[in-house]
């Protein structure tokens, strides 16, 4: 366990909140300590209010903040005196506690305080840290977990049996601490939950946490339960140059079934991790993984157990039975049943994580990778044991979590869906990527320009450098899209070239073939190869073809371009006819005079404007409505045509040109 404290990077030692931020980030930077919003930290300090009264304030990590990136604004300032009085109550429901915490804050705009705020308040130290360290959980989650914790730490920690986070845990911890804390006590061990450390300074509290976790790691190593080997997984083979690979179609089929079980589209992200694949191939994986999650905090994200294999119907049936066993609790809490798995362990596909967004699925996958280590280490230590089913259900359908779901706003229109855009590095293609991301889709961008890979740096975007005329490259890109997110729901065929003006008498065969190869042949291949994935889209597949005004109104000198776009439009019409039974709709947009693209330099624009006796601005608006058409305008129409407003439209051709007198 690495101590990351650095005197040179440490902020002013006189600012205890700044120090709290610093050490919180040190903890958050280590994923073996906390994962994605897990854990919490606090500091107590005295402040003078507007009335001139001195008040002791608890600054505790607020809801929605991550320790790795937390700032001072992420801590909720709560008055200490009410917290101490609340801790003495005989009982307090979770909704009452949340209300009391919110009404005791000194800043109305602060985030909601952690539900463990009272627990932080009752510990008599200025600084308190709380993590879900993998090494500690591996020791705790064994058949004799409490005895092993005591063997590891002796009297340096107070041990608290598992109680669900909230008021009851705070009260029990206060009782245990008062009865058992001694001069050597530097922390508190919450069975099946996590570690607390505390101290008089931020550094002391942080370094005590590092010491306690390091002790747990050394304990595991002494008992040959740290580096637990697994059978080697078969080497992953890159996608072959053939129609969408079997694994891609299997993953897309699985995603479709999971989405149907959930009642809404979900991404299904494949984790490229050899250890996870090897775990999924273990003969006893169903028995080990079926014992439950590493901590109750994880059950909300990952559900009680992963799905083993690909039989979603069996998983849903088992999950409904689990839910029915706790029906009285479910009715009392007005729970929202969601029987779809979030983690899938499959011998061939490895570890797959489902989520409504790429961020959610990424979190699920990372949590379960750490869970695998906990399971293996606890098993090597004598036997992995998670919490009883009743406790897991209490957390999974916790009334506070259910309240969050009920209060959550409508998801983004394309949440849980995947779009693939060609020619996506610039112009209309780049604008389409942005429009689809803004609507909640995960987007795969293809372009022969390597800059496509860095167009966006976020988990819901994958850029692939690919020449669309390379069939093997297209197949590989589709396989990567399926592995990354689970399939393809929306396909935007935008890639194309517009050669310099060339009259038919001067048009060489090579130039003609090159234009048709990019604008027509490549799109035929892409439609053909993407069709099996589009068929498996949970909300049915959608295709939008970016055509051209030159289809209804060609111009001299553009024979190859006009012919290729006209043929592409005809191809789209045939696809709409053929794919209707598959629920796939295919529509075409015809832009014109979109000047914010790479082919329209200032010099070219000026030359064309002078040819017509117009200024550059007049030339841009040389249409019936006298409006300028931008890449974003086209992209917004493309995105809308993938949305619900066009759900009953296919085979359509929609101009976006401000009105062209030759077309009208």
Helices within 245-357 (DSSP H only): 246-262, 274-280, 285-289, 296-302, 312-325, 327-333
Query: What is the pairing mode between strands 542-546 and 490-493?
Result: parallel
Going by C-alpha positions, the residue among 219, 209, 168, 222 that lies closest to residue 33 is 209
Give Cα separations from 543 to 213, 425, 435, 532 (angstroms).
Answer: 52, 19, 15, 13
CA distance 548 to 569: 9
Give yes or no for a contact between 586 and 530, defined as CB atoms under 8 angstroms apart: no
Tokens of 34: 């906390």
Helices within 49-194 (DSSP H only): 80-87, 94-103, 117-122, 134-140, 145-153, 167-180
Q: Which residues of 146-162 are buried (b: 16+ CB within 10 A; e: fewer)?
A: bebbeebbeebbbbbeb
CA distance 371 to 149: 19
Identify the DSSP state of 557. T
Catalytic residue among 384, 561, 612, 619: 561
Give the other-Cβ count within 10 Å of 67's Cβ. Answer: 28
Query: CA dihedral defined by 555, 557, 560, 565, rounded to 10 degrees?
Result: -20
CA distance 492 to 634: 12
CA distance 492 to 544: 5
> Nearest-5° angle of CA 40, CA 46, CA 48?
125
CA distance 434 to 564: 27
Return the SS3 of 107.
coil
Give the other-Cβ count within 10 Å of 442's Cβ. Answer: 29
Work out the angle between the directed axes of helices 246-262 and 471-485 (0-180°, nearest 10): 30
CA distance 143 to 140: 8
CA distance 300 to 178: 32
CA distance 142 to 632: 57
State yes or no: is 319 an active-site residue: no
Tokens 């800059």 correspond to what residue? 451
Going by C-alpha positions, the residue among 528, 480, 527 that lies closest to residue 245 is 480
Measured on CA atoms in the order 445, 451, 455, 457, is the torsion positive or negative? positive
What is the Cα 131 distance to its own chain's centre? 22
Query: CA dihedral defined by 107, 111, 116, 119, rounded to 10 degrees?
Result: -20
Give Cα separations from 342 to 259, 267, 321, 356, 484 (angstroms).
Answer: 10, 10, 17, 10, 15
Give yes or no for a contact between 136 and 195, defined as CB atoms under 8 angstroms apart: yes
CA distance 496 to 492: 12
Give yes or no for a contact between 118 and 167, defined as CB atoms under 8 angstroms apart: yes
Give yes or no for a contact between 355 and 269, defined as CB atoms under 8 angstroms apart: yes
- Catalytic site residues? 561
């Amino acid at each position: 366990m690495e101590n990351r404290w650095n005197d040179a990077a440490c902020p002013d030692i006189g600012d205890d909140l700044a120090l709290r931020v610093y050490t919180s980030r040190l903890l958050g930077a280590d994923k073996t300590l906390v994962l994605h919003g897990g854990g919490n930290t606090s500091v107590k300090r005295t402040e003078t209010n507007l009335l001139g009264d001195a008040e002791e304030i608890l600054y505790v990590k607020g809801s929605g903040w991550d320790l790795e990136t937390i700032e001072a604004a992420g801590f909720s300032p709560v008055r200490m005196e009410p917290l101490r009085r609340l801790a003495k109550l005989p009982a307090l429901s979770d909704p009452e506690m949340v209300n009391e915490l919110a009404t005791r804050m000194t800043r109305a705009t602060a985030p909601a305080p952690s539900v463990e705020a009272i627990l932080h308040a009752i510990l008599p130290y200025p600084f308190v840290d709380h993590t879900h360290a993998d090494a500690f959980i591996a020791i705790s989650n064994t058949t004799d977990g409490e005895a092993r914790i005591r063997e590891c730490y002796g009297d340096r920690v107070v041990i608290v049996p598992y109680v669900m986070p909230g008021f009851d845990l705070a009260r029990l911890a206060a009782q245990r601490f008062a009865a058992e804390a001694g001069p050597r006590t530097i922390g508190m061990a919450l069975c099946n939950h996590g570690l607390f450390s505390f101290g008089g300074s931020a550094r002391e509290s942080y370094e005590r946490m590092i010491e306690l976790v390091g002790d747990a790691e050394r304990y595991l190593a002494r008992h040959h339960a740290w580096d637990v080997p697994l059978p080697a997984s078969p080497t992953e083979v890159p996608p072959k140059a053939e129609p969408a690979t079997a694994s891609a179609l299997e993953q897309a089929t699985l995603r479709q079934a999971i989405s149907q079980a959930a009642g809404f589209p979900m991404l299904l992200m494949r984790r490229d991790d050899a250890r996870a694949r090897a775990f999924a191939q273990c003969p006893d994986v169903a028995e080990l993984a079926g014992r439950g999650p590493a901590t109750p905090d994880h059950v909300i994200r990952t559900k009680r157990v992963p799905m083993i294999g690909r039989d979603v119907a069996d998983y849903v049936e088992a999950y409904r039975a689990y839910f029915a066993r706790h029906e009285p609790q479910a009715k009392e809490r007005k729970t929202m049943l969601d029987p779809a798995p979030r983690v899938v362990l499959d011998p061939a596909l490895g570890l797959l994580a489902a989520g409504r967004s790429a961020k959610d699925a990424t979190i699920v996958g990372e949590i379960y990778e750490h869970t695998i280590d906990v399971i293996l280490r606890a098993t090597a230590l004598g036997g992995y044991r998670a919490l009883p089913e009743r406790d897991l259900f209490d957390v999974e359908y916790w009334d506070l979590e259910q309240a969050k779901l009920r209060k959550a706003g409508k998801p983004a229109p394309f949440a849980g869906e995947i779009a693939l855009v060609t020619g996506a590095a610039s112009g209309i293609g780049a604008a389409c990527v942005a429009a689809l991301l803004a609507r909640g889709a995960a987007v795969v961008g293809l372009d022969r320009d390597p800059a496509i890979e860095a167009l966006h740096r976020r988990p819901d975007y994958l850029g692939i450098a690919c020449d669309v005329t390379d069939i093997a490259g297209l197949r590989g890109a589709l396989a990567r899209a399926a592995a990354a997110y689970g399939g393809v729901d929306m396909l935007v065929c935008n890639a194309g070239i517009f050669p310099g003006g060339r009259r038919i008498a001067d048009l060489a065969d090579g130039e003609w073939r090159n234009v048709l190869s990019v604008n027509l042949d490549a799109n035929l291949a892409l439609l053909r190869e993407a069709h099996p994935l589009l068929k498996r889209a949970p909300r049915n597949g959608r295709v939008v073809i970016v055509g051209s005004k030159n289809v209804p109104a060609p111009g001299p000198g553009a024979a190859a371009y006009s012919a290729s776009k006209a043929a592409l439009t005809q191809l789209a019409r045939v696809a709409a006819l053929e794919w209707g039974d598959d629920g796939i709709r295919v529509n075409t947009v015809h832009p014109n005079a979109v000047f914010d693209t790479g082919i329209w330099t200032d010099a070219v624009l000026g030359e064309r404007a002078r040819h017509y006796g117009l200024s550059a601005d007049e030339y841009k608006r040389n249409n019936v409505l006298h409006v300028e058409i931008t890449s974003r305008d086209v992209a917004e129409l493309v995105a809308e045509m993938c949305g619900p407003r066009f759900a009953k439209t296919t085979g359509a051709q929609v101009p976006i040109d401000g009105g062209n007198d030759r077309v009208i």
